[in-house]
Amino acid sequence: MIDARGLSKRFQDKKRGEIRAVDNVSFQCLPGKIYGLLGANGAGKTTTLRMLATILEPTEGTAIVNGFDVVEHPEKVRANVGFLSTATALYRRLTAQEFVEYFGRLNGLDEPTLKKRIHDIFNRLDMNGFRDRRCDKLSTGMMQKTSIARTLVHDPPVMIFDEPTNGLDIMTARTITSFIRECRNNGKTVIFSTHIMSEVEKLCDTIGIIQSGKLLVEGTLAELRDKYAEHDLEEIFVKVVTPHYVAEENN
């Protein structure tokens, strides 16, 4: 489970002064459910997810991830999280298997467990054909599978996906979306950020719309449709976000 409590992140910019990338964001993601964080570019999605994954430290507020506080026990949080984004690249000079093994060892797995886990994951993701190939020789699809294997190697109860299908072709993107669904079916807590409406409609149990660092609204797809009297999620999104866009420009 993820419980974000008033998460805020401020950055100092030489030209623009203080920037509130995330501003007092609170939400909950439950096991066996997918929480979709929907927002435009620069809305604060990545910063929020990076704070949950403890890659960034919150300026204010905190989050409890699988029982551990992101501020107080960041290393324990990371041991319980699988984090995947298009920015999480592979070590090009390692083979696919070495890459996954490296992260398995960093997650404290002993060698017999690691061996078994890798055997299972590589079979499940059909990766045996390229397990000994160096990552710089892999196709985009193979790279994505290797990244997925990395996030799964320690079998974390919480999965964080930051725009995981960004820039991928349809077939590779489908590998990712079916993997996200599989995580939910396996009872994992899943949070996932995107600006692609169709992905949210297909995958998410709860949707949170974020703009200018603020969580503006959240609910199930049905609740949002009722509330804004719109069927199309894109229309709902525009209705929610537009006033804040104006406000931002006026500022």
Partner 1 sequence: MSLRNVGIVYRKELTEAIRDRRTVISTILVPLLLFPVLSVGFGSLAIVLVGKAKEETPKVMLLGGADSPAVVDGLKKLDKIEIVPETSDWKNLIISKEIRAAVEIPAGFQADVALQKPETVKIYNYEGELKSEFATDKVDKYMKQYRDNVVKERLAAKNLPETVLNPFDVKQQNVAPPEKVSGAAIGGIIGYMVILLCMTGAMYPAMDLTAGEKERGTMETILSSPISRTHLVLGKFLLILTAALGTAALSVLSMGVSFSVLAHYTSQSAGGRAAAAGLLLHLGPKTVASVFLMALPIAVLFSAVLMTIALFAKTYKEAQSYLTPMTFIIIIPAIASMLPGVELTSRLSLIPILGTSLLCKELVAGTYHWNLIALIFTSNCVYAAAALFIAIKMFQRESVLFRS
Contact residues: partner 1, CB under 8 A = 12, 53, 55-57, 75-76, 78-79, 81, 83, 85, 87-94, 98, 102-103, 105-108, 134, 150
CB of 235 vs partner 1, minimal distance in Å: 33
Q: Do residues 175 and 127 touch, judged by C-beta distance below 8 A?
A: no
Best CA proximity match to 224, nearest among 208, 211, 245: 208
Nearer to partner 1, 139 or 242 (CB): 139
Instruction: Assign residue 6 a region (left: φ > 0; alpha: ψ between -120 and 50; beta: otherwise).
Output: left
Nearer to partner 1, 25 or 207 (CB): 25
CB of 249 vs partner 1, minimal distance in Å: 23
CB of 12 vs partner 1, minimal distance in Å: 8
Nearer to partner 1, 85 or 206 (CB): 85
Best CA proximity match to 1, nearest among 152, 158, 207, 218: 158
Nearer to partner 1, 92 or 124 (CB): 92
The DSSP call for residue 204 is: -
CB of 201 vs partner 1, minimal distance in Å: 28
Nearer to partner 1, 94 or 125 (CB): 94
Best CA proximity match to 144, nearest among 178, 120, 115, 114: 178
For the sheet containing 17-29, what is the strand order? Answer: 17-29, 2-13, 60-65, 68-69
CB of 180 vs partner 1, minimal distance in Å: 17
